[in-house]
Chain A
């Protein structure tokens, strides 16, 4: 499913050039249509996958709930025993997994595509850690909760993004410098987190650690509504805005000639990415590697096209699956979901380093 699409435009060019213009246009149109159709098929397949995983996560826990019972409970009927598990645990977790996965993944894919480097996702660049260091500080040492924590996490993520941009400078090597500055900042921020953990009493440190690993265990409907609002606004905007990145790939000057303000576009994308990352992190912690992995996976599935919706769906599926595994893989122990995504992510990063060898060389 991955290879043939890329070859097709070249096949069109390979046709004899003395053909009528109309002919060429017609065949180009066919190819375009086919590419679009495949993209829609991919999105439909991914949506089906996410819905399937959602149902599994919500209905098939330790306590099995039939689909009909689920519908009845959502519409207000109380079923003794089942209602509590479904309405207070498995359903909110499944909803939050979809929202958080989509938020992290869309943000990651947008950043990777903007910086044209598959390694440059917000979590590798320390933006997640900026949000979580600020949030942990506020929760553990200042005793805050709820909305102020979201705002503080937001401020932390913004601070890291601004610092990275300010210090990376301009020119061809800016992406490499962004990564290095981000990795350095991440090291400092993690030492801040360690310090906060040390200052807290042991019970709070334990809670903070669960949160820091990325967990869906304590999700409330209020948090789902908050994150849902942010995702509902920022995700469609991001999809629209990132369409123009193709023009940006021609270079800033040419893009300006085509009527695009490159700096404004980058600023807008960064703002949306920070909004998604920070609000998702504030609610369920920095779920490791989701933003990093989903972009490249979606890229492969979409045969080389950058598709933010596909990435978002992949992210949602990843977190749903990881949450299911983390909750039920080891009987008796519920691990935070970030443990599973972190373990799954490392081999993929290694693979990307190896597979990206040639592309790094070309730069």
Chain B
């Protein structure tokens, strides 16, 4: 079978059927039909959004909230609370989708089940760059952060990937995790060096560092919109490529894929998504790890379906984590990033126990 060497990541359907069929290791009955995936995903997102709007540290009557949403007359205080909830829900949706899809691409590209922006240190690199930005240029807006987050994420991703390439394939999950840990430790030291001498920067940074969708205006999404659009386009188009890569690089090349170019493009997409999400909400760990695995268990191994499913599952997880964080510590709040870490850690442990790592 021949595929044109210059074919774009979305291969013609006649050829892509073959790689999609091959790694069929999931149990029977796990592959949900596509309409079910989309319908169920949309339903899940709808429920998560509804709960996020209805529940919070202040319990408001549902009728008031509906009235506020439909433009009815409500007290100013209620309108303000509902506005804030709409903002954080919107940001949660965008961040969740970005990080979830990013996780799918990273895991597929590296063929490493633990690849995730948090564990790979990409978030830490972005954080370091943001601190430098806060310190040197007195940044305080997301539109200002995003360039630094982007730069930091890119540099870190490249460094970690290069380090992991030094290890043999079987040891790569461990090496990547350690390379990520090394990057994290170094950037933590540097962040410490900057912040220790600067209380003002610490006060800005600690609110960003914790990973939260709250306290931000939804208009910041438009600041990173160009990055998000390009990132989503590149990442979502890489489904067929990821399917081929799952077979191994040699086979992929044999099938006529321009592996290097396509890899770079989809990696760029993943990094754009990770960086924009980090700029919006700060480092939110473990979402990129959990979402692809859960979705894969539901929809089967075809990466195009996993990408689509993650587009729904990521927002559900982040919005739900934000809602849970509002409820467990009322009248105070636990930030979404922390809820995600607490949910994600047992998941990581379970995953690691099933792996046969070097």
Which residues A311-363 have CB closer than 8 A to chain B? 333, 335-336, 338-339, 341-343, 345-346, 349-350, 353-354, 357, 360-361, 363
A202 within 8 A of B: yes
When distances are taken between beta carbons in the complex, the residues of chain B under 8 Å from A180 are: 114, 173-174, 177, 348, 352, 355, 357
A297 and B357 alpha carbons, distance in the complex (Å): 27
A173 in contact (CB, < 8 A): yes
**Interface 0/1 of B336-358, CB less than 8 Å to A:** 01100110110011001101111
Interface residues contributed by chain A, number (CB under 8 Å)? 52
A119 to B163, CA, bound (A): 14
B358 and A184: CB pair below 8 A? Answer: no
Which B residues have a C-beta under 8 Å from some C-beta of A? 114, 118-119, 163, 166-168, 171, 173-175, 177-186, 188-190, 192-193, 195-197, 199, 202-203, 206-207, 209-211, 285-286, 332, 334-335, 337-338, 341-342, 344-345, 348-349, 352-353, 355-358
CA A63 to CA B151, docked complex, whole Å? 43
Q: Point out the residues of chain B lying under 8 angstroms from A173, CB to CB.
A: 355-358
**A210 contacts the other chain (CB 8 A):** yes
Whether a CB of chain B sits under 8 angstroms from the CB of A74 is no
Per the 8 Å Cβ criterion, residues 165-188 of A in contact with B are 167, 169, 173, 176-177, 179-181, 183-188
- A residues less than 8 Å from B178 (CB atoms): 119, 124, 179, 183, 349, 353
Chain B residues positioned under 8 Å from A284 (CB to CB): none
Instruction: Tell me if A209 and B353 are in contact (CB < 8 A).
Output: no
- A198 x B206 contact (CB < 8 A): yes
Question: Which chain B residues border A77 with CB–CB below 8 Å?
Answer: none
Complex Cα spacing A177 to B350, Å: 11
In whole angstroms, how far apart are the Cα atoms of A187 and B195 in the complex?
Answer: 20
Interchain Cβ contacts under 8 Å between A and B, 19 examples: A167-B352, A176-B358, A180-B173, A184-B352, A187-B285, A188-B345, A192-B338, A194-B338, A195-B334, A202-B199, A205-B203, A213-B188, A213-B196, A289-B185, A335-B193, A339-B196, A350-B179, A353-B175, A360-B171
Contacts of B114 in A (CB 8 A): 180
- A177 near B168 with CB under 8 A, answer no
Shortest Cβ gap from A244 to chain B (Å): 26
Partner of B192, one of A199, A205, A213, A345: A213
Do the beta carbons of A177 and B345 come within 8 Å of each other? no
Assess A342 versus B189: contact at CB under 8 Å? Given A167-B353, A176-B357. Answer: yes
Q: Give B335 Cβ to nearest chain A Cβ, in Å.
A: 7
Enumerate chain B residues within 8 angstroms of A238, measured Cβ to Cβ: none
Residue A43 interfacial (CB < 8 Å): no
Contacts of B192 in A (CB 8 A): 209, 212-213, 336, 338-339, 342
Q: When chains A and B are docked, how far (Å) is the Cα of A119 from the Cα of B357?
A: 15
Nearest CB to that of A119 among chain B residues? Answer: B178
Are A288 and B189 in contact, CB atoms less than 8 angstroms apart? yes
A183 to chain B, nearest CB (A): 5
With CB as the reference atom, state the residue of chain B lying closest to A117: B174
Residues B118 and A187 in contact, CB atoms below 8 Å apart: yes
Are B193 and A350 in contact, CB atoms less than 8 angstroms apart? no
Q: Decide: B182 and A184 in contact? CB cutoff 8 A.
A: no
Judging by beta carbons under 8 Å apart, are B355 and A349 in contact? Answer: no
Decide if B286 touches A195 in the complex (CB within 8 Å): no
Q: Contacts of A183 on B, CB cut-off 8 Å?
A: 119, 177-178, 180-181
Is there an interface contact between B210 and A169, defined as CB atoms closer than 8 Å? no
In chain A, what residue has the closest Cβ to B286?
Answer: A187
Determine whether the beta carbon of A360 is less than 8 Å from that of B167.
yes
Contacts of B358 in A (CB 8 A): 173, 176, 360, 363
CA distance A217 to B322 in the complex (A): 38
